């Protein structure tokens, strides 16, 4: 197989595993320039594509290549100027303006420059469903809610930047968008933009490809309220961070409001540029924890009422007691109960809820828990590859995630020590036992590690 054939076949597979917009953005004008002794070198058009391919898409690429040629062990990217890159290697030569990928790009400022000054609601990217009014406040989110509310009343001065962090499904997106909706309601003329950090990066690279980077920067620098969700995805993507830093600074100096969210505090985002970290730390940082039982019940009552549906009080309590991980899960369970009750024309009483929930819990455990699933969560979280986790490397950045992985295989999958050893690169069962005991011990002393384990568990059970 020639390099070209190999890459074309691999792209065919990669295309199936990621969204079309991402595929076109990151894999356009790429090719294999070298393939020898298990190492494949991929030529990419710029440093952004290099970062994203090496960090985020690394696993997909390796998997696709290995399916075709099992001895491939690693990949790396080199930057090639567009002129030198082969012109026929576009991943999708049939791309037309009508394609879904292009439609998905409609919120890209770079492409629709005519809408840059337009301020219609769709351009803000806000979902009007998320408001302060329907956000239930408890001890777990009191501070975050107060900070967000203050910001919505006093843009750019109260707390700037405002950094909100907390685990999956605990209400970060809801709260941040509430700021946007509140500000929009009072002052629709302001430029408000909600964007995920991934979407931000994709738009950035598109603008590079179209040579509209200055439009892109201009667009962002005119924003009055910029809400960036899930900033942890920029971890390790230095060039993207660099551009973000400049936009951030420009806005900050003009007293424009910036709100950022992440699944962990700035200090725990391992490869975040120091100057970004200290910028974030210079503003207001508020966390969102897990809601307590009373708050979970209040959220359920609230959501049921929104849907004009009555659930008996002991059933509400039962749901709230059964689902403790996060609010998204709680809401999912409630929606399912409502749908089934309506379908079967039944009351959502204790018996009904108990039965439905027990079915849900078992099917969830079976479908979501697997070795690969946990491996992927750890790999994404610590920004290291699955190969590194399973491999022999002894650096601390790899050893701790590896030991946590073994620990989780034991506690969550209930695998035996020998079988964990077998699965992780043929290690002896005593090594696994040692890792397990060490983690167990450390978790009782090290609160940061404990927090990380909680986040990992949340991710494991919520995907």
Q: Is 457 in the site for ligand ADP (CB under 6 A)?
A: no
Find the binder of ligand ADP among 147, 195, 204, 299 (CB under 6 A): 299
Q: How far is the CB of 369 from ligand ADP (least distance, A)?
A: 20
State how far the Cα of 45 lies from the Cα of 33, in Å rounded to an integer.
13
Q: Is 290 in the site for ligand ADP (CB under 6 A)?
A: no
Q: Name all contacts of 419-426 with Cβ < 8 Å and 24+ positions apart.
A: 423/371, 424/389, 424/390, 425/390, 425/391, 425/392
Asked if 235 and 268 count as a contact pair (C-beta separation under 8 A), the reply is no
Q: Is 169 in the site for ligand ADP (CB under 6 A)?
A: yes
Q: Is 211 left (phi over 0), alpha (psi -120 to 50) or beta?
A: left
Chain residue whose CB lies nearest ligand ADP: 171
Nearest to 299 by CA among 141, 185, 168: 141
Q: Is 171 in the site for ligand ADP (CB under 6 A)?
A: yes
Find the binder of ligand ADP among 56, 174, 193, 459 (CB under 6 A): 174
Q: Is 240 in the site for Mg ion (CB under 5 A)?
A: no
Phi, psi of 134 (to 5 degrees): -105, 25
Q: Is 220 in the site for ligand ADP (CB under 6 A)?
A: no
Give bridge partners of residue 164 from the DSSP assignment: 261, 286
Task: Lay out the site mask for Mg ion across 171-190 (x = CB under 5 A, - = otherwise).
Answer: -xx-----------------
State how far the Cα of 59 lies from the Cα of 42, in Å rounded to an integer.
14
Q: Is 328 in the site for ligand ADP (CB under 6 A)?
A: yes
Q: Return the residues of window 186-215 that contact ligand ADP according to CB under 6 A.
A: none
Q: Which stretch binds Mg ion (CB under 5 A): 79-87, 165-173, 218-226, 376-384?
A: 165-173
Residues contacting Mg ion: total by CB under 5 A: 2
Comparing CB distances to ligand ADP, the nearer of 72 and 151 is 151
Asked if 262 and 176 count as a contact pair (C-beta separation under 8 A), the reply is no
Question: Which token pair is 161?
Answer: 């930047």
Q: Is 172 in the site for ligand ADP (CB under 6 A)?
A: yes
* For residue 161, cis peptide bond before it (omega within 30 degrees of 0): yes
Q: Is 136 in the site for ligand ADP (CB under 6 A)?
A: yes
Q: Binding residues for ligand ADP, per CB under 6 A?
A: 134-136, 141, 166, 168-174, 299, 327-328, 331
């Amino acid at each position: 197989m020639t390099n070209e054939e190999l890459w074309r076949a691999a792209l065919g597979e990669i295309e199936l595993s990621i969204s079309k917009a991402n595929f076109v953005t990151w894999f356009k004008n790429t090719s294999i320039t070298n393939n020898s002794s298990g190492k494949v070198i991929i030529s990419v058009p710029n440093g952004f594509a290099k970062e994203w391919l090496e960090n985020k898409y690394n696993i997909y690429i390796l998997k696709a290549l290995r399916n075709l040629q099992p001895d491939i062990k690693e990949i790396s990217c080199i930057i090639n100027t567009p002129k030198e890159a082969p012109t026929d290697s576009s991943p999708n030569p049939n791309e037309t303006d009508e394609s879904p990928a292009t439609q998905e790009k409609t919120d890209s400022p770079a492409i629709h420059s005519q809408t840059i000054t337009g301020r219609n609601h769709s351009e803000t990217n806000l979902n009007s469903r998320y408001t302060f009014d329907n956000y239930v406040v408890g001890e777990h989110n009191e501070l975050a809610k107060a900070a967000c509310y203050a910001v919505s009343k006093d843009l750019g001065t109260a707390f700037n930047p405002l950094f909100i962090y907390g685990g999956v499904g605990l209400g970060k997106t809801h709260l941040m968008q509430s700021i946007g909706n509140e500000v929009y309601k009072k002052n629709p003329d302001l430029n408000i933009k909600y964007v995920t950090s991934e979407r931000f990066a994709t738009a950035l690279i598109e603008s590079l490809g179209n040579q509209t980077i200055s439009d892109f920067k201009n667009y962002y620098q005119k924003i009055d309220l910029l809400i960036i969700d899930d900033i942890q995805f920029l971890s390790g993507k230095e060039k993207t961070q660099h551009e973000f830093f400049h936009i951030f600074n420009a806005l900050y100096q003009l007293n424009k409001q910036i709100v950022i969210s992440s699944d962990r505090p700035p200090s725990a985002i391992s490869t975040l540029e120091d100057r970004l970290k200290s910028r974030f730390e210079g503003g207001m940082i508020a966390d969102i924890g897990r809601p307590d039982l009373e708050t979970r019940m209040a959220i359920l009552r609230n959501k049921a009422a929104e849907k004009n549906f009555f659930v008996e009080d002991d059933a509400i309590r039962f749901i709230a007691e059964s689902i403790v991980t996060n609010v998204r899960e709680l809401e999912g369970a409630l929606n399912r109960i409502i749908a089934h009750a309506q379908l079967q024309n039944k009351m959502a009483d204790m018996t009904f809820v108990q039965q439905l929930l027990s079915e849900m819990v078992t099917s969830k455990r079976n479908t979501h828990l697997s070795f690969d699933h946990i491996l992927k969560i750890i790999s994404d979280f610590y920004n290291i590859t699955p190969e590194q986790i399973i491999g022999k490397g002894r650096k601390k950045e790899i050893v701790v995630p590896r030991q946590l992985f073994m620990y989780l295989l034991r506690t969550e999958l209930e695998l035996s020590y020998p079988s964990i050893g077998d699965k992780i690169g043929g290690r002896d069962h005593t090594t696994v036992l040692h890792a397990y005991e060490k983690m167990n011990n450390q978790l009782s002393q090290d609160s940061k590690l404990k927090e990380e384990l909680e986040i990992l568990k949340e991710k494991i059970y919520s995907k």
